Amino acid sequence: MLRLLLPACLLAGPPVLVAQSPSMQLITIARSQIAAHDLDSAEITLGAALERAAYTMDSVWVYIWYGVVQHLRGRDDVTQASFRRALTLHPNPGADSLEKISRAVAELYDRESRAIRVRSPRDVDQPAGWRSGLVFVYPLELRSRRVAGHALVRAIVDTLGHVVERSIEVLETPDSAFVVPLTRMMASATFHPARVRGRPVQSWVSYQFNLTPPNPGNPVRLVDAAREQLRITNVDSALALLHQALDSGSGATPGIRVYALLVQGIAWQARHSDSLAAISFNTALGSYRELTAGGVDLAPFLRRLADSVRLSRLTPQRE
């Protein structure tokens, strides 16, 4: 039954503009040989066509028809590999008529096509949809400057709904420091894949984000959280929290800033950055003296912390 279907569909040439090339003439001969079920001659002819291929599409059609020959021989693993090579050279050669040869060979081609070809949103029946992903982490260095604006990101989503990481492109951003966190967020995202005729396909997705600096949060809680991070020796996290607490938009009072600077000095000491620790301590203790001289009644825990820092700086360190 399969052989009866071949002649009618094989007489129709592939939809290309280079049919006059020697390679395409040989492909036409090979199609006639396939129609006659002379598969050995068809393989030889297709080999000659590949050697004479002057254009990419010549090679594409050689691989497609070679895949058909191997399917007729019952070697579908070779068929898939041949289709894959064709689609790597051109992701959409227009070989949809393979279903006229057999549904099985069309299925093999479609499977490889869906794994390689990347559709645009307008070429799918159902576009890819965001399912889940990491929360965008706003860069600390941009919070104090209150940098905001729009970012445009695009990427390829595969048939399983995962982002192809090498495809991620940040096309627009108000600051280059946003590129890394935007890329990380997209790389971690999962999607409902796009579909064509109910089947998942690879597709491009594009998203525009409105980037706005987050509210720093309660500055006292941030400093308390930083002290807890220092207790478990997570110095980097502590410094990040203190950076937020000392942000100009945090609403920290002068007393709270003294608290944050003292803890920041302790954090820099833990990092063995004595010069940075000295800057934090000197700034904190200078502000502390100004506040107490002005009659400000600071919390007892803050007075104890300031006294502890002063005492530690006066006590000689043992070698």
pLDDT tens-place string over residues 40-49: 999 999 999 9
Given this model, what pLDDT does residue 46 score? 94
Given this model, what pLDDT does residue 7 score? 35
User: Could you tell me the pLDDT band of residue 17, with boundaries at 50, 70 and 90?
Assistant: very low
pLDDT in tens, 161-204: 999 999 999 999 999 999 999 999 999 999 999 999 898 999 99
Cβ-contact 152, 207 below 8 angstroms: yes
Longest Cα–Cα distance of the chain, Å, equals 105
If one counts every other C-beta atom within 10 angstroms of the C-beta of residue 283, the result is 16
Given this model, what pLDDT does residue 100 score? 80
pTM over 0.75: no
Given this model, what pLDDT does residue 144 score? 67
User: Could you tell me the pLDDT band of residue 316, with boundaries at 50, 70 and 90?
Assistant: low
pLDDT in tens, 219-249: 898 899 899 989 988 888 889 888 888 877 7
CA dist 52 and 45 (Å) reads: 11
CATH 3.30.2420.10, domain 123-211, yes or no: yes
Task: Return mean pLDDT, the chain.
Answer: 85
pLDDT in tens, 123-144: 899 999 999 877 787 887 787 6
Query: For residues 3 and 85, which has the higher predicted lDDT (pLDDT)?
Result: 85
Q: Which residues contact residue 43 at a Cβ distance below 8 angstroms, ignoring those fewer than 6 apart? A: 66, 69
Query: If you ran DSSP here, which 8-state letter would residue 127 be given?
Result: -
In the CATH scheme, what architecture does the domain 2-114 have?
Alpha Horseshoe (1.25)
Cβ-contact 143, 178 below 8 angstroms: no
Range with the lowest mean pLDDT among 89-103, 155-169, 245-259? 89-103
User: Could you tell me the pLDDT band of residue 26, with boundaries at 50, 70 and 90?
Assistant: very high
**Domain map of the chain by residue range?**
2-114, 123-211, 219-314
Q: Which residues contact residue 65 at a Cβ distance below 8 angstroms, ignoring those fewer than 6 apart? A: 27, 30, 31, 34, 42, 46
Cβ-contact 172, 152 below 8 angstroms: yes
Q: Is the pLDDT of residue 260 over 50?
A: yes
